[in-house]
Amino acid sequence: MSETENKPLIAVLGASGALGGGLALRWAVAGYPVIIGSRTVEKAAAAAAELNSRDDIAHAVQGMTNEDAAEAGEIVVMTVPFANHQSTLESIRDAVQGKIFIDVTVPLVPPKVGTVQLPEGGSASARAQAYLGSDVRVVSAYQNVAADHLNDLSHDPDCDVLVCGDDKDACQIVVGLTEAAGMKGWHAGPIANAVVAEAMTSVLITLNRRYKIPGSGFRITGTPAA
């Protein structure tokens, strides 16, 4: 564990993009030590410098290549496009052994991103678990969160998050990270259930387009009062 208030060091791969950058921002503001990962160190350094220019970041954000970030991070979060999913997994496979690996990938296949197109194996996260092996605790989360909401700290993202994985303790840690980022996380079962969250993204994209919604999400209803 990091010495920073016992908070784990989070490496966000692909964090020079809007979704990964939004998650990195939320966790950095919440006091977590964060590494920005990108395909090039220049992009990572630029994204890290932008975060470090804020006055609400308690600890300096580092910028590294995805491979170096995966090696350094205690929890690794992958937010790359589906087209880069397998190649990124191949490049960081050894580095993530024994770690919690949060896969945010959505199997969108342009140009029909509003149509559900699930890969062989059921979901991107299930494929990641099969490829990385049982020593990696793969958790699926954050596929249904609008990047614009994450990057706007004036309000909490107006959505819930489905957290799926075969390791219950790892899922509970990710539920805690979700709450730290201003959202409600729900442990929604094993990694096989990640297919629901990944498919839901195309449905939300369709709703956004049809009803001019700037970033739709969903809530779990019928829950008991706190």
Domain positions in the chain: 10-211
CB 54 within 8 A of CB 21: no
CB 138 within 8 A of CB 165: yes
> If 0-12 CB within 10 Å is exposed, 13-18 middle and 19+ buried, where does residue 120 land?
exposed
For 10-211, CATH gives 3.40.50.720
pLDDT per residue of the chain (226 residues) written in tens, 0 to 9: 344 468 999 999 999 999 999 999 999 999 999 999 999 999 999 999 999 999 999 899 999 999 999 999 999 999 999 999 999 999 999 999 999 999 999 999 999 999 999 999 999 999 999 999 999 999 999 999 999 999 999 988 989 999 999 999 999 999 999 999 999 999 999 999 999 999 999 999 999 999 999 999 999 999 987 6
C-alpha 126/C-alpha 165 separation (Å) is 9
Q: Return the percent helix, strand and coil in the chain, to nearest 5.
A: 40, 15, 45
Q: Which pTM does this prediction carry?
A: 0.96
> If 0-12 CB within 10 Å is exposed, 13-18 middle and 19+ buried, where does residue 17 land?
middle
C-alpha 104/C-alpha 92 separation (Å) is 15
